[in-house]
Amino acid sequence: MNYFSSKFKLGILGGGQLGKMLLNDTRKFDIYTSVLDASNEAPCKIACNEFHIGDLMDYDAVYNFGKQVDVLTFEIENININALEDLEKEGVKVYPSSKTLRTIQNKVTQKLFYIDNGIPTADFTRFAYTNEIEDAIDNGGLKLPFVWKSAQFGYDGNGVKVVRKMEDLSGLPNVECLTESLIPFKNELAVIVVRNANGDMATYPVVEMEFHPEANQVEYVICPARIDMEVALKATEIALRVSKAYNHVGLLAVEMFQTQNDEIIVNEVAPRPHNSGHQTIEASYTSQFEQHLRAILNLPLGSTESKAAGVMVNLVGAEGHTGDVIYKNIEEIMAMPGVTPHIYGKKETRPFRKMGHVTIVSPSVDEARRIAEEVKKTIKVISE
């Protein structure tokens, strides 16, 4: 099929920053795009050929949108899956598939999938409702501390909480959830696997993630991860096993823990471009966004090799600031070597809201990490 400068139409469900960065590459290739999002202020609106407003969890909105495109992809997991299934039955190509998304969308189903496929993961207990957890602790069936996770609709630190004492349970939504053993890990790692419909596969280098202690959001993504070669090989091998088990098409970001004795266990996955791959725009021969397009259109995959070491810093709204956004000291960071800011186009900031990211590239990963810390200290996302 001719995708370039043609009548072919790519549909994207979700109009956030991931979609906006994907659109950089559709414009590079002159691929016609149509985007569906609930917000008229969505970052994608300025970069697609067609923009439609609709709720991604609404069957009719997703189904009617999907009928107008040739291939459908998504940049967020919270989508009406029944609509995707019906579109697939009627011949619309949906990548990753509704089957892949159905398994991943619910964290309990995702964990059971790992158990069924012999993929190492943290021990867990499932609950129909959060309020059942207290009884389980009282009866001795569950011990503190643990990680509480909402089964559905969690993102960016929402829907996840470390529970160290009983009081930490108060205020959590009373929903289907799971509790996970608290892993005393050395590192949080991630591997992005790409796979096209022909079954061609490639992996990006293992990245290391440093988290904000309070917000449970990634502060730095470091590529390559500063780990032993054997650990990197093990992480890559497990990521490929996960990918083969899902039989997905597109990108799959596999988040993992490196334990104290250098075992690798899978935390969770995302079937789309991911925060752990943003540095690929500047640091890799093929960005994760271009790679996702190549995969879902069944084109040859690009090189996943790095041109340089890359560190990504998330730009999130400062605490105590809500309103029209100002990027304070952005000129100062732009004067630093190897620094590229990406501003997502969200007009309003609020505490810990993801507003952009900054990539730092350097021949040395330690130098890139040093500059990243300087960037983090210098730029502030505030309101007027």
Q: What is the pLDDT of residue 89?
A: 98
Q: What is the pLDDT of residue 218?
A: 81
Q: What is the pLDDT of residue 157?
A: 64
Whole-angstrom distance, CA of residue 310 vs CA of residue 302: 18
Flag whether 176 is marked binding: no
Q: What is the pLDDT of residue 178?
A: 96
Per the structure block, which two tokens stand in for 344? 């997502």
Question: Would you tell me which CATH number, out of the four given (2.60.40.420, 3.30.1490.20, 3.65.10.10, 3.90.79.10), belongs to the domain 123-181?
Answer: 3.30.1490.20
Flag whether 182 is marked binding: yes
Q: What is the pLDDT of residues 68-123, one digit of tens each?
A: 999 999 999 999 999 999 999 999 999 999 999 999 999 999 999 999 999 999 99
Q: What is the pLDDT of residue 155?
A: 65
Mean pLDDT over residues 326-337, rounded? 98
Mean pLDDT over residues 57-71, rounded? 98
**What string of H, E and C letters represents the secondary structure of 18-82?**
HHHHHHHHHHHHCCEEEEEECCCCCHHHHCCCEEEECCCCCHHHHHHHHCCCCEEEECCCCCCHH
Q: What is the pLDDT of residue 103?
A: 95
Flag whether 107 is marked binding: yes
Question: What 3-state DSSP class applies to 136?
Answer: helix
Q: What is the pLDDT of residue 183?
A: 86
Portion of the chain with pLDDT greater than 70, in percent: 98
Flag whether 132 is marked binding: no
Residue 173, preceding bond cis, omega within 30 degrees? no
Q: What is the pLDDT of residue 215?
A: 66
CATH 3.40.50.20 in the chain, residue ranges: 9-94
For 260-286, give the DSSP string: TTS-EEEEEEESS--GGGTTHHHHBSS
The yes or no reply on domain 185-383 and CATH 3.30.70.890 is no
Q: What is the pLDDT of residue 219?
A: 87
Residues 6+ apart with CB under 8 A from 61: 36, 54, 55, 80
Flag whether 196 is marked binding: no
Q: What is the pLDDT of residue 122?
A: 95
Residues 6+ apart with CB under 8 A from 213: none
Residue with tokens 């810093």: 313
Mean pLDDT over residues 232-237, rounded? 98
CATH 3.30.1490.20 in the chain, residue ranges: 123-181
pLDDT band at 128 (very low <50, low <70, confident <90, very high): very high
pLDDT band at 211 (very low <50, low <70, confident <90, very high): confident
pLDDT band at 384 (very low <50, low <70, confident <90, very high): confident
- Whether residue 175 is predicted with pLDDT greater than 80 in this model: the reply is yes
pTM here is 0.95
Question: Would you tell me which CATH number, out of the four given (3.40.50.10490, 3.30.420.40, 3.40.190.10, 3.40.50.20), belongs to the domain 9-94?
Answer: 3.40.50.20
- Whether residue 1 is predicted with pLDDT greater than 70 in this model: the reply is yes
Flag whether 180 is marked binding: yes
Flag whether 354 is marked binding: no
Question: Of 40-44, 111-115, 182-186, 248-252, which gets the smallest average pLDDT?
Answer: 182-186
Phi, psi of 86, rounded to the nearest 5 degrees: -65, -35
Flag whether 268 is marked binding: yes
CATH 3.30.470.20 in the chain, residue ranges: 185-383
Say how far residue 102 (Cα) sits from the centre of its chain. 16
Q: What is the pLDDT of residue 348?
A: 96
Flag whether 267 is marked binding: yes
